[in-house]
Structure formats: structure tokens, C-alpha cells
Amino acid sequence: MWNFPAGMIALIVVSILIYFGVAHRVLDRMRMNDKTALAVIAAIIVGSFIDIPLGARVTINLGGSIAVILALYVLLGAGTGYEKIRALVAAAITALALYLAGRFLGAEPEQIFIDPIYLYPLIAGIVGYLAGRSRRGAFFAAVIGVFTLDVGQYFYLVSTGVRGTVHIGGGGAFDSLILAGILAVLLAELIGESLERLQGGPKTEDRPEELMKNLRAPEPARKPQTESATESTTESVTESSPERGDENE
């Protein structure tokens, strides 16, 4: 789609946050650890410079393809079937919103009030979050929504005979696909965490027990009751033994 460095900058910022452990909560929800996340980001950045031509009309960007694969992985890690279905529906809604934006707002900078290279990630991120709601659903919806728009563009060119080349996966880290996914997760994290705090804490329904243990605050250390009971019994027996001996005598 459009080449610009904002996606690369966003990935670098995310990498720094992951390195310093700031994004640990988000990674838990995405079923990833720090090393895996950093490896995926590095692969996206490197792959963004690699385009694989498939005929005269289609070019696949390796970095964008990795982001799409990551979105599919996130979907498979969703907690419930309902969340998966909602994420798929959210992706379709996001793609439709992008199509309508391109149809009525235009794709040329002089036609609209904001540059399309920022407008489309903004639309995909916001719609992806509103439709997907969860962090996993929002990320999947935003990324796959942009990806679906690219695929739809290919079928449009083929059906109409219009000349042009479609870049599936866009430009990887240089494309709106990456920015849309990051924005969707950021909205889900900020708004979702705020709502959880207002409601008194994270919801436990349909979430893995291991995840909930990580989210709960650690309980204060307490002395085991068994040891206290044993010590009390021992002291009681020791104190009462002389009295029993005097009675026997």
C-alpha cells in the first residue's frame, strides 16, 4: 500500500517497551513471551525489505506476511469460540470500513483532510478495537482487515482489467497494516484496563487460571497453620506433663 517510516518507529518503540518489561501484561493476553515477541518484531522489520513477486499483478511482502501469520496465531490462542467468531466478524467489519473510507474519502492526499497513510491505520485500529474488544480480537481484526482490503484490491483489478500491482501484506513495517495492529492493541489495553479498574479488577470468566494467577496481586506471606497448631500442641503437652506426674505419685 503506502511506504512510510511510522510503522518502523512504532515497532522500535514497542521493542523497547518489551525489553524493559512494560508490555508484559499485553504479551500474556497475546499468549507470547518477551523473547518470542522480540523475535517476531525483528522478523517483521527484516522481512519488510523483502518482496516476493507472484506474477505481474501480485507481490507479497515477507514482513507483512509475518504480521498476518501472527494475527492468525493470536486468533487460535483466543480463550473461547465466541471470541474467535467475534474476531472474524470484527475483521470483516474493519475491512468494510476501510473500503467505504477509500470509496467516499478517496485515496489521494489532496482529496481529504488527512494523509491516507495515517487515516487508514487510524480507521482500522479504532474499528478493530470497537468490533473486536479484546486485545487478541482487536489485533486480529485490524491486521486482517487491512490484509483483506489488499486481497480485495487484487480481485478488483483482475475483474475490471485495470492495470496495477497489488502488494499483499503491504510494505511490512512501512505499511498501515502494522500501525493498525499496534493501535488496536494500544486502545484495547488502555481502555480495557481502565474499565477493569472501574469494575474492581480483571474478569475471570472464560480465562485460563494460569493467566489469572499472573494478573492477581501476590498474597502476603503467612505462617502455615499446621506448624502453629503443632507447636501449640507440643507446648501444651510439655506444660501439663509435671502435673500429671504429681497426680500419679
Residue type at 96?
Answer: L
List the end-to-end C-alpha distance of the chain, in Å, as a whole number.
101
166 has pLDDT over 60 = yes
Confidence of residue 237 (pLDDT cuts 50, 70, 90): very low
Q: Which three cell numbers stand for residue 158?
A: 483482475
Going from the C-alpha of 113 to that of each of 103, 149, 174, the distances in angstroms are: 15, 22, 22
Residue 130 CA neighbour count, 13 Å, CB half: 9
Confidence of residue 245 (pLDDT cuts 50, 70, 90): very low
Residues in the chain: 249
pLDDT at 202: 53
pLDDT at 248: 39
Question: Does this model's pTM top 0.85?
Answer: no
C-alpha span between 185 and 180 (Å, rounded) = 9
| CA neighbor of 9 nearest in space, from 59, 45, 52 | 45
What value does the mean pLDDT of the chain take?
Answer: 77
172 conformational bin, left if phi > 0, alpha if psi -120 to 50, beta if neither: left
pLDDT, average across residues 12-22: 87
Summarize pLDDT for 176-200 with one digit per residue, the tens.
Answer: 888 899 999 999 888 876 776 676 6
pLDDT, average across residues 143-156: 89
Q: Are 140 and 86 in contact (CB under 8 A)?
A: no
C-alpha span between 158 and 154 (Å, rounded) = 6
244 has pLDDT over 60 = no
> Higher-confidence residue: 110 or 69?
69
Residue type at 192?
Answer: G
* Ramachandran angles phi, psi of 145, nearest 5°: -60, -45
